[in-house]
Chain A
Amino acid sequence: MVMEKKLLIHNDKVPGINTYEVYRAHGGYASVEKALKTMTPDQVTDEVKKSGLRGRGGAGFPTGLKWSFLAKPEGVPRYLVCNADESEPGTFKDRYLMEKIPHALIEGMITASYALGARDSYIYIRGEYFYVYRILENAIKEAYAAGMLGENILGTNFSHHVHMQIGAGAYICGEETALLESLEGKRGNPRIKPPFPAVAGLWGCPTVVNNVETIAAVVPIVNEGGEAYAKIGIGKSTGTKLISASGHINKPGVYELELGLPVEEFIYSEEYCGGIRNGKKLKAVVAGGSSVPILPAELILKTAKGEPRLMTYESLGDGGFLTGTMLGSGGFIVMDEDTSIVKNLYTFARFYHHESCGQCSPCREGTGWMEKILHKFFDGTATESDVDLLWDIQSKIEGKTICPLGEAAAWPVAAAIRHFKQEFIDVAKSKKYNDVSHYNRLNKLAKV
Chain B
Amino acid sequence: MSSQVHGAQKFDKKKRSEIKFSDAGMAAAQEILARYPEGKKKSGVIPILHIAQAEFGGWLSPEAMDYVAEVIKIKPIEVYEVASFYSMFNLKPVGKCTLEVCRTSSCWLCGAEDIVKYIEKKLNIKDGQTTKDGMFTLKTVECLGSCGTAPMLQCGASFHENLTYEKVDSLIEKYKSEGRQRSYTDLDYHNTL
Contact = CB atoms under 8 A, between A and B. Distances in A.
Given A182-B46, A439-B114, A187 B81 contact: yes
A391 B103 CA distance: 24
B149 interface: yes
B159 A131 contact: yes
Given A126-B145, A347-B108, A438-B114, A168 B88 contact: yes
Contacts of A127: 46, 50, 86, 88, 184
B106 A89 contact: yes
A188 B193 contact: no
Interface string B88-112: 1100000000000001111011110
Contacts, number: 196
A433 interface: no
Contact of B147 (A77, A91, A185, A435): A91
A89 B142 contact: yes
Main secondary structure on A side of the interface with B: mixed
Given A99-B193, A333-B147, A448 B117 contact: yes
B11 interface: no
A364 B105 CA distance: 21
A218 B185 CA distance: 31
B176 to A, nearest CB: 20
Contacts of A87: 143, 145
B154 interface: yes
B105 A290 contact: yes
A182 B46 CA distance: 8
A278 interface: no
B156 to A, nearest CB: 8
A343 interface: yes
A259 to B, nearest CB: 20
A184 B184 contact: no
Contacts of B109: 246-248, 333, 335, 339, 344, 438
Contact of A169 (B35, B87, B185): B87
B108 to A, nearest CB: 5
A243 to B, nearest CB: 10
Contact of A166 (B46, B78, B158): B46
A185 B46 contact: yes
A126 B142 CA distance: 13
A439 B159 contact: no
A128 B189 contact: no
B44 interface: yes
Contact of B184 (A89, A130, A203, A356): A130
Nearest to B115: A439
Contact of B45 (A185, A246, A358): A185
Interface of B: 1, 35, 37, 40, 42-47, 49-50, 74, 78, 81-82, 85-89, 103-106, 108-111, 113-115, 117-118, 121, 141-151, 154, 157-159, 164-166, 184-187, 189, 191, 193
Given A77-B37, A128-B145, A354-B142, 12 more contacts: A91-B147, A94-B145, A126-B145, A130-B50, A170-B87, A183-B43, A185-B43, A247-B147, A339-B109, A356-B1, A358-B1, A448-B165
Interface of A: 77, 86-92, 94-96, 99, 122, 126-131, 134, 163-171, 182-188, 203, 244-248, 252-254, 286, 290, 331, 333, 335, 339, 343-344, 347-348, 350-351, 354-358, 435, 437-440, 442, 444-445, 448
